[in-house]
Amino acid sequence: MPRILLVETCTAPRRPASELAAEHRARHALALESVVDGRRDGARGVRRDMRGGELALFGIPLGGAYLAPRLLAHGIEVLHEPLALHAAAGRDPLLALGEAVRRGEPDVVGITINHTVEESVGLMMARVVKATRPGVKVVLGGMDATFRAHVLAHEPAVDAIVRFEGEESLPRCVDWLTGRGEPDDVAGLVARVSDEVRLVPPGPHIDFARAVPAYDVMRADEYVRAGVLAHVQTSRGCPHECHFCCHTTYWGRGVRVRDVGLVAEEVADLLGRGCDLVYLTDSTFTLDGQRVEDMCDAFVAHGDDRATFAVETRIDRLDDRLLARMARAGVRIVALGVESVSPEVLARLPDKRVADPLASVRDAVRRLRAHGMSAYVSLVLGLPGETAESLRGLIDAVDLLYADTDGLLWADAKLARAFPGSAFADDPARLHATVDARYEWYDFYGRVTVHVEGGPTEEEILAAREAVMERNVRAWRRRRPGDEARVREAVAKWMGGGAETPRGS
C-alpha cells in the first residue's frame, strides 16, 4: 500500500516589526477570545493562538482533511504532520518535516501551498524531503501552486503539481508517481515527463454536496488544544470577481453547496473535540438566504448553537430577518468585505459600487450590533483609484466606526496584492497599476507591491496601515484593560527574538 504524508507550508513565527505590531497581534487574538468568552458567560475557554494575522489564516488543515477520504478509499495510507503546531511551540518546522519523513517513510509527500508569500517555503520543504529521503516523490497543490505551476514544475525537488481541486486527481497522481498509472490519467497535472513539462487539462469541479473531512487523520484534536480556529467549508465557488482575489478563478463562479445536515454534524464533532470558535469559510455566507436559514435551523437542532461562529459576507447581503436567525444559531462575528469607503475606489471594483459607502458600512455595523453580533471589517489599501485623501478618509471612517457603538470588533487593513490568478496579476496595466512580483513580500501586511498610477506613495500607504493598527489597539485597551499583563507578556516574548519582518507586518 503506497503511503502519502500531507503537510502545509509553514515557517517559524517571526519577530514583529515594532512593539505596536506586536501589541496589535496580541490584541487581535484577545478580541476573538472576548467574543468566545461572551458566549460562555465569562467563563474562560481555550486561549486563542496569539500569532495574529487575518481571521481565517490558521486552523485545522482543511485541504488535507478533504483529500484524505479519497486517498484512503483509493487504497493509499495517509499521514499528517502538524508543522504549524511545531512552529508555535518554538520548533523548526523544517526539522520537524525531515523527522516526519524519516519516521513515516512515505512514498509521496504532498505539500499544500495556498498563500503566495509561502511559495519559497514550499520549495524549501520539497528540498528537505529530497535531502532526507531522495527516493520520495514530492507533489504540490493548493491555490498558489495551481496558478504558479508552470514555474514550480522546473524546480528539481518537485515531481508534480496537481492544479485546482485534488480530491479526484491526487489519488491518480500517487498511482503514477508510484508506478501504477499514467500521467495523462491525472487531471490538472503539471509535471516533467521525459524532460518535457506535461500539462494535463483539469477535470470538472467535484460534487461537493456529500463531502466529509477526515479530521482524525489530520490530528484535529492537537490543533483544537492549541486554541486555533476550526474552518468549516459549507460551499465552494463565488459569483463575484474582485480584482484582487483569485477564489473565483480557483473554485469557479458557480457555488456548490454541501448538505446542511452534514455541516451540522461536522460542527457537532468539532464541539465534541473542544473547539469553541468556528469559521464558516463561504466567500459570501448570506448569498442564499433560504439555505442560511436551513443551516441555522440545523445548528440549533444539533446543539451546535453552543459554538461561536464567524462568517464572511457583503454589506449588501444583510437582511434583518436573516441576521436574527444567524444570531440565534450562534453567529457572533460577521466579516464584511468593505475594501474601501471611497466611491472612486469602489467604482473600479466589480459589484462593489455603493452611493455612500461609509453610511452603508456604519449602518451595517449598527444592525449587526442590534442583533448581538460584531463586525470584522476587511479593508484593502492601495487599490486602483486610491489617493492620499481616500486613505485619510479610511482612517477617519475607522474612528467613526469605533465611536458609533461597540459593534466594531476589528478593522483589518490589508495591502493590495496581485495574487497569481487574479485580475491584478493577469492585466495590471488595464487597472493602471504596476506590480512587484517578489512573492516573498505577498503577505497582507508587509511591503507595498501594487503601485497605482497617480496613487499614494508607499510611505503614505504604510502610514495608513499603521494608523488603523493604532485605532484597533487603542479601542481594545479601553475595552479590556484587564488584558494588559497578558499583552505585555506576549510583546516581550515576541520582541525578544526571531527574524525581522517587513515594516507593518
Q: Name the band, by pLDDT with cuts 50, 70 and 90, for residue 503.
A: very low
132 shares its domain with 265: no
475 shares its domain with 327: yes
pLDDT, position 439? 86
Cα 405 to Cα 362: distance, rounded to the nearest angstrom: 10
Cα 23 to Cα 160: distance, rounded to the nearest angstrom: 41
* CATH code of the domain covering residue 383: 3.80.30.20
Backbone dihedral angles phi then psi of residue 403, each to the nearest 5 degrees = -80, -30
193 shares its domain with 239: no
**β-strand partners of 346:** none
CA distances from 88 to 101, 132, 137 (A): 20, 23, 28
Q: Does residue 214 sit within a domain? A: no
- Does the structure show a pLDDT above 90 at 45? no
> What are the tens digits of pLDDT across the range 169-217?
999 999 999 999 999 999 999 999 988 999 999 999 999 999 999 999 9
251 shares its domain with 340: yes
CA distances from 129 to 17, 105, 191, 287, 382 (A): 31, 11, 18, 42, 38
421 shares its domain with 273: yes
Q: Does residue 221 sit within a domain? A: no
Q: Does residue 86 sit within a domain? A: yes
348 shares its domain with 482: yes
> What are the tens digits of pLDDT across the range 227-251?
878 899 999 999 887 878 898 899 9
The parent domain of residue 271 ranges over 229-495
Q: Does residue 215 sit within a domain? A: no
Q: Does residue 436 sit within a domain? A: yes
Is 490 strand, coil or helix? helix
Question: Which one of 152, 182, 199 terminates a domain?
Answer: 199
Show the cell assigned to 372.
448581538
Q: Does residue 238 sit within a domain? A: yes
Look at 95-99, 148-152, 251-255, 478-482 and tell me which has the smallest mean pLDDT.
Answer: 251-255
Q: Does residue 220 sit within a domain? A: no
472 shares its domain with 380: yes
Our count of domains for the chain comes to 2
Q: Name the band, by pLDDT with cuts 50, 70 and 90, for residue 501.
A: very low
Buried b (16+ CB within 10 A) or exposed e, 386-413: bbeebbebbbebbbebbeeeebbbbbbb
pLDDT, position 105? 98
* CATH code of the domain covering residue 137: 3.40.50.2300
245 shares its domain with 177: no
Q: Does residue 500 sit within a domain? A: no
Q: Name the band, by pLDDT with cuts 50, 70 and 90, for residue 440.
A: confident
> What are the tens digits of pLDDT across the range 306-317?
899 999 999 989
State mean pLDDT over 104-115: 96
Look at 129-138, 471-480, 493-502 and tell me which has the smallest mean pLDDT.
Answer: 493-502
Cβ–Cβ under 8 Å, residues 368 and 375:
yes
> What are the tens digits of pLDDT across the range 200-210?
999 999 999 99
State mean pLDDT over 32-47: 74
pLDDT, position 504? 36
pLDDT, position 496? 84
322 shares its domain with 417: yes
pLDDT, position 43? 59
438 shares its domain with 395: yes
Question: Which one of 182, 199, 216 terminates a domain?
Answer: 199
pLDDT, position 181? 95
- Does the structure show a pLDDT above 50 at 453? yes
What integer best gives the mean pLDDT of the chain?
Answer: 91
State mean pLDDT over 35-49: 70
pLDDT, position 242? 80
More confident site: 465 or 352: 465
- Does the structure show a pLDDT above 50 at 502? no
Q: Which amino acid is at 106?
A: P
Cα 473 to Cα 303: distance, rounded to the nearest angstrom: 35
State mean pLDDT over 5-17: 88
Locate the DSSP E strands across 118-215.
137-141, 160-162, 189-193, 196-199
413 shares its domain with 464: yes
321 shares its domain with 465: yes
Q: How many CB atoms sit inside 10 A of residue 312's CB?
A: 21
State mean pLDDT over 403-423: 93
pLDDT, position 456? 97
